[in-house]
């Protein structure tokens, strides 16, 4: 037994620093945590996501904090811009004159009260006379024709006289009653733009749901089934894709009235085609991998393999495609509304706002500026977010 003892000299103390090699330097991340980490590093994508979040909050909550709705009309306060050049009558009275040579009672800080009614409206002499707090105010617009013929945009078009003496602009202030100004019917453009955002975001939601629940499942079934089933299903997709969306909308108007419901049905009918093709291609590339064979060997049903294994593994390209298709849907709705195939009056859409503003573009460019700006920024925001998601969800770009 003594010969079997191991000598202490045969043992060597292990350096404790070797244990540090086994220490995990940082916690492991899941696929989605790693994607979010890389997405946050893309500044343009985060700016786009932030804008979409703010736009959604404004669209949902903004109208509740306003005294106006999208359909409120006040013809007395039509075509008032977001910034006003005001004239001082006395310490308590200020006026603004719009491009129709009508005076509007305002405050010194930019609140709009009401339109003033002239005491005398001489169309032949081209002047209007008002009485404000005992003062005679005359708007002389005899210069308008000469200014138009001169071609100089800065030429003098009118003159405001206080008790017979011409007065100049007192101050330029922001319109604190109508932040974005008013349109030709005296409706608040700010509220109408927010209601247009509601419609655009609703279209984005419908396009997302249609693509996800119809396009993903249809393309998944086609790709996984293969053979004749895949051939028949893809030929159906080809037939649907050959008919333009505009023609679908026109045909649906024969059955339904023009409006938001028609656009939603048209998008729900054809907008999933591209997604189905993308998902089919992804499923074809991964359905022959080992984990699918293992699931089939263990007795997993076809539906379970498709929903629990194949589609989740193709979720990266699916999400990127969804983000890229949303701005296309928003722009499509705005275009259809612009040409008169969208929402019905008095509902507000960015497309209808742009259409209403085209007629008075030279005189009231702000009426087109705000809806066009919101369309552009929203489409850019979704495109920036889609680019960031593409980079974040691509496994080949992991660091």
Q: Please tell me the distance from the alpha carbon of residue 276 to that of residue 270, in angstroms, as a whole number.
A: 11
User: 147 and 203 share a domain?
Assistant: no
Q: Is residue 208 part of a domain?
A: yes
Q: Is residue 203 part of a domain?
A: yes
| 273-325 pLDDT per residue, tens | 888 888 888 888 888 888 888 888 888 888 888 888 888 888 888 888 888 88
| 85-98 pLDDT per residue, tens | 888 888 888 888 88
User: 239 and 116 share a domain?
Assistant: no
Predicted pLDDT of residue 333: 83
DSSP letters spanning 71-106: T---GGGTT--SEEEEEESSSS-EEEE-TTS-EEEE
Note down the domain range covering 96: 83-174
User: 143 and 289 share a domain?
Assistant: no
Decide if 223 contacts 311 (C-beta within 8 A).
no
Q: Is residue 64 part of a domain?
A: no
User: 253 and 285 share a domain?
Assistant: yes
What sections of 137-256 are H helices per DSSP?
Answer: 144-150, 189-210, 216-225, 227-242, 245-255
Choose one of 174, 209, 224: the last residue of a domain: 174
Q: Please tell me the distance from the alpha carbon of residue 115 to that of residue 77, in angstroms, as a whole number.
A: 6
User: 391 and 284 share a domain?
Assistant: yes
Q: Is residue 350 part of a domain?
A: yes
Choose one of 174, 203, 224: the last residue of a domain: 174
Q: Is residue 194 part of a domain?
A: yes
Q: Please tell me the distance from the alpha carbon of residue 310 to that of residue 223, in angstroms, as a whole number.
A: 10
| Continuous segment of H or E residues that includes residue 265 | helix 260-270
Query: What's the Cα-to-Cα distance from 206 to each of 185, 216, 269, 294, 325, rounded to whole Å?
Result: 31, 14, 11, 36, 11
Q: Is residue 72 part of a domain?
A: no
pLDDT tens-digit profile, the chain (399 residues): 455 677 777 777 766 666 666 665 566 667 677 778 888 888 888 999 999 999 899 888 888 888 888 888 888 888 889 998 888 888 888 888 888 888 888 988 888 888 888 888 888 888 888 888 888 888 888 877 777 777 776 777 888 888 888 888 888 999 988 889 898 888 989 999 999 898 888 888 888 888 888 888 888 888 888 888 889 998 988 888 888 877 877 787 777 777 778 888 888 888 888 888 888 888 888 888 888 888 888 888 888 888 888 888 888 888 888 888 888 888 888 888 888 777 777 788 888 888 888 888 888 889 999 999 999 999 899 889 888 888 887 655 555
Number of structural domains, the chain?
2
User: 289 and 392 share a domain?
Assistant: yes
User: 98 and 166 share a domain?
Assistant: yes
Q: Is residue 5 part of a domain?
A: no
- Rg, C-alpha atoms of the chain: 33
Decide if 106 contacts 209 (C-beta within 8 A).
no
Predicted pLDDT of residue 355: 87
User: 236 and 333 share a domain?
Assistant: yes
The edge-to-edge listing of strands for the beta sheet with 127-132 is 120-122, 127-132, 135-140, 159-162, 165-167
Decide if 279 contacts 318 (C-beta within 8 A).
yes
In sequence order, which residues have a C-beta less than 8 Å from that of residue 341 and are 6 or more positions away? 246, 249, 250, 253, 258, 262, 263
User: 212 and 150 share a domain?
Assistant: no
Decide if 314 contacts 180 (C-beta within 8 A).
no
User: 333 and 255 share a domain?
Assistant: yes
Q: Is residue 151 part of a domain?
A: yes
User: 259 and 153 share a domain?
Assistant: no
């Amino acid at each position: 037994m003594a010969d079997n003892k191991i000598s202490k000299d045969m043992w060597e103390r292990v350096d404790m620093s070797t244990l540090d090699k086994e220490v995990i330097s940082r916690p492991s991340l899941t696929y989605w945590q790693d994607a979010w980490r890389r997405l946050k590093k893309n500044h343009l994508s985060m700016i786009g996501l932030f804008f979409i979040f703010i736009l959604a909050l404004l669209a949902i909550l903004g109208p509740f904090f306003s005294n106006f709705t999208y359909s409120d009309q006040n013809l007395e306060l039509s075509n008032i811009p977001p910034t006003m050049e005001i004239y001082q009558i006395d310490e308590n009275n200020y006026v603004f004159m719009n491009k129709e040579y009508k005076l509007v009672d305002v405050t010194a800080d930019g609140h709009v009260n009401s339109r003033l009614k002239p005491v005398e409206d001489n169309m032949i002499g081209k002047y209007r006379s008002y009485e404000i707090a005992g003062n005679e105010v005359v708007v002389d617009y005899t210069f308008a024709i000469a200014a138009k013929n001169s071609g100089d945009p800065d030429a003098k078009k009118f003159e405001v006289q206080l008790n017979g003496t011409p007065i100049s602009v007192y101050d330029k202030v922001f319109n604190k009653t109508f932040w974005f100004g008013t349109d030709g019917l005296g409706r608040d453009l700010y509220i109408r733009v927010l209601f247009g955002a509601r419609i655009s975001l609703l279209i984005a939601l419908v396009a997302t749901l249609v693509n996800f629940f119809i396009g993903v499942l249809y393309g998944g079934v086609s790709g996984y089934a293969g053979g004749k089933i895949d051939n028949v299903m893809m030929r159906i997709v080809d037939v649907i894709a050959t008919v333009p969306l505009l023609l679908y909308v026109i045909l649906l108007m024969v059955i339904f009235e023009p409006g938001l419901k028609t656009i939603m049905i048209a998008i729900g009918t054809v907008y999933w085609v591209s997604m189905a093709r993308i998902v089919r291609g992804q499923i074809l590339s991964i359905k022959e991998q080992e984990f699918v064979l293992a699931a089939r060997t263990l007795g997993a049903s076809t539906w379970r393999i498709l929903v629990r294994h194949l589609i989740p593994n193709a979720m990266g390209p699916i999400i990127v495609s969804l983000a890229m298709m949303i701005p296309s849907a928003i722009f499509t709705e705005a275009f259809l509304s612009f040409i008169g195939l969208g929402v019905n009056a008095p509902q507000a859409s960015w497309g209808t706002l742009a259409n209403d503003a085209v007629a008075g573009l030279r005189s009231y460019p702000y009426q087109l500026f705000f809806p066009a700006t919101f369309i552009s920024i929203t489409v850019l925001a979704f495109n920036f977010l889609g680019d960031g998601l593409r980079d974040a969800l691509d496994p080949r770009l992991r660091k």
